[in-house]
């Protein structure tokens, strides 16, 4: 039998296997993460919009007070793409991400962020007017982080919030944003981490504390 033919068949079989296995892994991750979100936030209504098959989903939840709604996006690395996956991971530094924004009835006016220091310094966390923000470094056993702030009151509030997150929760943590004037809180986490349920649970408690404090 022609060796070239065997090579082509082998590549086709491997590509099919990787597509099937990778798609299933990404879908399992998405289902687990969104089930966790629903279980913890207990939405009154949900809406999901698919993004390109196993790439991910946009979703919107209608929430009970002191929140109004939650808007989120979950995206996964291209596990199903045999040849593109290494490029995505090594060249573009792609990773599984869960981003969500919780809108509140009211928040105290102010702006601030908590971010991983390495991600901030590499520019992977897009933050506007970063040159106008004051910076406070924070060390935790899980790594180095930065508090970015205009108002010392917001700095102190974010510092208190961050201190409440456990090391398990911080394994999934990427970014937290406080947008008081627009009355919303934004978070980015890695949904592939096994501690994700605890991360979401602790963040939900922090959100409730921030929102109810300002009512």
Count of structural domains within the chain: 1
Using one digit for the tens of pLDDT, what is the confidence trace for 24-61? Answer: 787 889 999 999 999 999 999 999 999 987 789 999 99
Domain that holds residue 86: 3-213
Distance of CA 76 to the CA centre of its chain: 11
Is a pLDDT exceeding 70 seen at residue 144? yes
pLDDT of res. 132: 83
* Tokens (6 digits) for 188: 């980015």
Averaged pLDDT, 73-86 = 70
Read out DSSP for 144-184? EEEEEESSHHHHHHHHHHHHHS-HHHHTTEEEEEEETTTTE
Is a pLDDT exceeding 50 seen at residue 215? no
Averaged pLDDT, 91-118 = 87
Cα angle, residue 196 at apex, residues 191 and 199 outer, rounded to 5°:
125
Mean of per-residue pLDDT scores for the chain: 84
């Amino acid at each position: 039998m022609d060796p070239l033919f065997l090579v082509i068949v082998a590549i086709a079989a491997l590509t099919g296997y990787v597509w099937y296995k990778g798609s299933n892994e990404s879908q399992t991750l998405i289902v687990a993460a969104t089930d966790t979100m629903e279980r913890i936030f207990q939405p009154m209504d949900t809406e999901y919009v698919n993004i390109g098959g196993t790439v991910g989903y946009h979703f919107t939840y209608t929430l009970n007070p002191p929140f109004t709604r939650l808007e989120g996006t979950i995206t996964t690395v291209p596990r199903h793409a045999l040849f593109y996956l290494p490029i995505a991971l090594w060249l573009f530094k792609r990773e599984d991400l869960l981003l969500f924004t919780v809108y509140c009835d009211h928040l105290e006016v102010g702006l601030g962020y908590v971010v991983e220091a390495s991600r901030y310094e590499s520019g992977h966390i897009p933050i506007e007017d970063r040159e106008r923000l004051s910076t406070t470094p924070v060390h935790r056993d899980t790594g180095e982080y930065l508090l970015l702030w205009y108002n010392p009151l917001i700095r102190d509030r974010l510092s208190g919030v961050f201190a409440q997150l456990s090391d398990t929760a911080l394994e999934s943590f990427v970014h937290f944003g406080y947008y008081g004037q627009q009355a919303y809180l934004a978070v980015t986490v890695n949904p592939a981490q096994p501690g994700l349920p605890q991360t979401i649970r602790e963040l939900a408690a922090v959100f409730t504390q921030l929102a109810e404090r300002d009512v």
